[in-house]
Amino acid sequence: MSMPNTKFKILLVEDEALSAKRIEQLVNNYGDEFEVVRVSDSIEDALQWLKTNEPDLGLFDIQIADGLSFEILRNISFHLPVIFITAYDEHALQALKLNAIDYLLKPIKEEELQAGLEKFKKQKQVFSESQLYNLMNAMNVNGPTKYVERLRVNLGQQIRVVQVEEIAYFYIWNKGVYLMTLVAEKFLLDMTLDEIEHMVNPSKFFRINRQIIISLTSINKMVNYSKSRVKITLKPEAPIETITSVERSGEFKKWLAGN
């Protein structure tokens, strides 16, 4: 599937005028595929603009005058991919929990920003294709939705094919998205959890929180946790927290029951 011949609209959130001007110039240097359509110097201004606009991508400085720009994503109703920018590395984990496309440290290098824009384009195409599958299914075109049956992964210079039945879970760790097999093989992937969530069969996989999608076969033990959440022990054991979020706990229990 080819990418549409339209510009990707960018919301730039940056409260330093000189920095905003430089970032906009770096975007322009990339070519004519991207356009900064709005520069906001505060969370308040960005949220106000987002009430009536839906850009394709955000370039967010994390620390701005009225707080942390993470709050923007927590207060909008649609999915907005973001490349986060900061002079400090202390917010990297929080940015990754919000499924950042990339995380750039100031002063921004042109080649690093361009790599982030390339990564966005690649992920946008995968996400668009999964949306097309869902649309075809809703319209009953060409039969039911087709979910991936296997994934191609890289292991050094080697290429490996992993069958979906072999997968225990997908998770975010240390600025990357990984696949873990049932026999504890780990592979780095070049896609986001959002994309994976649309690609795998929802009867077999469930996203229990922002950081991990688990397979039914990977569940070893479950116990009730606070606020109706469920704490899950996986096999193999996961390197991150495996507790259902408050928002997902109810749906998770329905999923377990096959509803």
Asked whether residue 149 carries a pLDDT value surpassing 80, the answer given is: yes
Across-strand partners of 151?
162
Average pLDDT on 83-93 reads 70
**pLDDT tens digits, residue range 90-120?**
555 455 545 567 778 888 999 999 999 998 8
Domain that holds residue 155: 150-256
Give the whole-number percent of the chain exceeding pLDDT 70: 83
Q: Which helix (H) or strand (E) holds 96?
A: helix 92-97
Could you count the other beta carbons within 10 Å of the beta carbon of residue 243?
17
- Among the candidates 99, 134, 169, a domain finishes at 134
pLDDT over threshold 70, residue 131: no
Q: Is residue 37 part of a domain?
A: yes
**What is the chain's mean pLDDT, rounded?**
84
* Predicted local confidence at residue 127, as pLDDT: 45
**Of 239, 208, 238, which Cα lies nearest the Cα of 225?**
208
pLDDT at 133: 43
Give the mean model confidence (pLDDT) for residues 38-46.
96
pLDDT of residue 231: 94
150-204 pLDDT per residue, tens: 888 877 777 888 999 999 999 998 878 999 999 999 999 888 888 898 889 999 9
Same-domain status, 128 and 170: no
80: helix, coil or strand?
Answer: coil
Asked if residue 242 and residue 180 are part of one domain, the reply reads yes
Domain of 233, CATH number, reads 2.40.50.1020
pLDDT number for residue 195: 84
**Mean pLDDT on 1-5:** 45
pLDDT of residue 145: 54
Asked if 27 and 51 sit in the same domain, the reply is: yes
pLDDT tens, 235-251?
999 999 999 998 889 89
Q: Which residues contact 196 (CB under 8 A, 6 or more apart)?
A: 170, 177, 189, 213
Q: Looking at the structure, do residues 125 and 74 belong to the same domain, yes or no?
A: yes
Q: Which residues contact 90 (CB under 8 A, 6 or more apart)?
A: none
Distant-in-sequence contacts of 134-139, Cβ < 8 A, 24+ apart:
134/198
What average pLDDT does the segment 51-80 reach?
88
Examine the domain organization and report whether 123 and 189 are in the same domain. no
Cβ-based neighbours of 33, under 8 Å, separated by 6 or more: 7, 8, 117, 121
Q: What is the pLDDT of residue 144?
A: 47
Mean pLDDT of 203-232: 93
**pTM of the complete model beyond 0.75:** no
pLDDT reported for residue 143: 44
Q: What integer pLDDT is reported at residue 96 of this predicted model?
A: 52
Residue 145 lies in a domain: no
